[in-house]
């Protein structure tokens, strides 16, 4: 089954209740199993420029490279790293070139579904969650001061609710000449639901209620994604809110163009 027909994708991005414009950017390419969320930051409308650049460069690079025949898993990791590096450099250069864009940057969470696997990269505090067997789990570790405080045992999870460090990320695309990026890969199971989101969702809605929405409403994915934003806005909507839901309906093994490892093994055995 092709990745396009195996996956159901629903997306939403919303300005929220408090802010006057939306600096989040989302993008998907169902044919290639691609999706990303970028949450821009920096002066007047510069955040919007940064997240927009990240999204268009990432999509362009990944599309170009993924159209190569049957990339291997390690090749996809390289593609993600390469694309993130390109986006970082471009945003950084643009920021240096014009004073009003100085210091702009963006978070990023990007996924590639290929050959029954999910490859993902993230920078900053945009997150990737997975719902499997009814349990919601966050697959990314925020690059944020708040997360470090908890990880170091400086404050408890419970204290995190009253921390003033929610807006401090420790990594972002475009802020420095070089960017660090973690790429991970996991096996996908039929029935999994993946959620990419900006912090406007998880800062306003408890994980337990995100889990409740995904579990109760997943028969209607477009409604689920709308209800996530509704909950965030009902709780105050302090930030832009973006969410992409991806439900795995079927498995999607890559079609071998040339004999793969197994093909060759069988070839030798014949």
Give the binding site for another protein (CB under 8 A). Answer: 39, 41-42, 47, 105, 107, 124-125, 138, 141-143, 145-172, 175, 199, 202-209, 212-213, 216-217, 219-220, 223, 227, 230-231, 234-236, 238-239
Give 43 or 259: the residue with its C-beta nearer to another protein: 43
Q: Which is nearer to another protein, 116 or 209 (CB)?
A: 209
Residue 24 or 115 with smaller CB distance to another protein:
24
Nearer to another protein, 223 or 254 (CB): 223
CA distance 5 to 91: 34
Decide if 141 contacts 56 (C-beta within 8 A): no
How is 192-245 classified by DSSP, letter by letter? -EEEEE-HHHHTTS-HHHHHHHHHHHTTSHHHHHHHHHHHHHHTT--S-EEEEE
138 or 254: CB nearest another protein: 138
Closest approach of Cβ 233 to another protein, in Å?
9
On whether the CB atoms of residues 61 and 85 are closer than 8 A, the answer is no
Provide Rg for the chain, Cα atoms.
Answer: 19
Q: Which residues pair with 39 in a beta bridge?
A: 24
CB of 103 vs another protein, minimal distance in Å: 8
Which residue number, 66 or 214, has a Cβ lying nearer to another protein?
Answer: 214
Shortest reach from residue 142's CB to another protein, in Å: 7
Closest contact distance (angstroms) between CB of 259 and another protein is 38
Distance from C-alpha of 137 to C-alpha of 243, rounded to nearest angstrom? 16
> Residue 44: CA atoms inside 13 Å, Cβ hemisphere, count?
3
Per the listing, tokens 């050959």 go with 115
Q: Is the dihedral of CA 16, 121, 141, 49 positive or negative?
A: negative
Least distance to another protein, CB of residue 248, Å? 18
In the complex, least distance from residue 213 CB atom to another protein, rounded to whole angstroms:
6
d(CA 100, CA 176): 17
């Amino acid at each position: 089954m092709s990745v396009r027909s195996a996956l159901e994708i629903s997306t939403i991005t919303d300005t929220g209740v408090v802010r006057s414009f939306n600096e989040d950017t989302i993008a998907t390419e169902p044919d290639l199993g691609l999706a990303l969320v970028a949450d821009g930051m920096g002066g007047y409308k510069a955040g919007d420029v940064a997240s927009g650049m990240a999204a268009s460069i990432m999509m362009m690079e990944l599309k170009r490279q993924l159209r190569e025949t049957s990339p291997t898993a390690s090749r996809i990791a390289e593609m993600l790293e390469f694309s993130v590096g390109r986006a970082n450099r471009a945003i950084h250069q643009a920021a240096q070139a014009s004073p009003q864009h100085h210091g702009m940057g963006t978070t990023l969470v990007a996924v590639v579904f290929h050959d029954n696997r999910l490859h993902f990269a993230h920078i900053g505090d945009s997150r990737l969650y997975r719902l499997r067997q009814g349990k919601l789990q966050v697959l990314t570790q925020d690059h944020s001061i708040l997360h470090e405080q908890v990880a170091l045992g400086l404050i408890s999870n419970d204290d995190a609710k009253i921390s003033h460090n929610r807006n401090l990320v420790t990594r972002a695309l475009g802020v420095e000449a070089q960017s660090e990026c973690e790429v991970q890969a996991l096996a996908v199971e039929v029935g999994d639901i993946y959620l990419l989101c900006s912090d406007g969702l998880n800062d306003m809605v408890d994980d337990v209620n995100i889990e409740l929405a995904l579990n109760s409403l997943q028969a209607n994915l477009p409604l689920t994604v709308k209800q996530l934003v509704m909950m965030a806005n009902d709780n105050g909507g302090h930030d832009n809110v973006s969410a992409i839901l991806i439900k795995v309906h079927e498995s999607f093994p890559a079609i071998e163009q040339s004999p793969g490892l197994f093909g060759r093994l069988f070839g030798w055995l014949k």
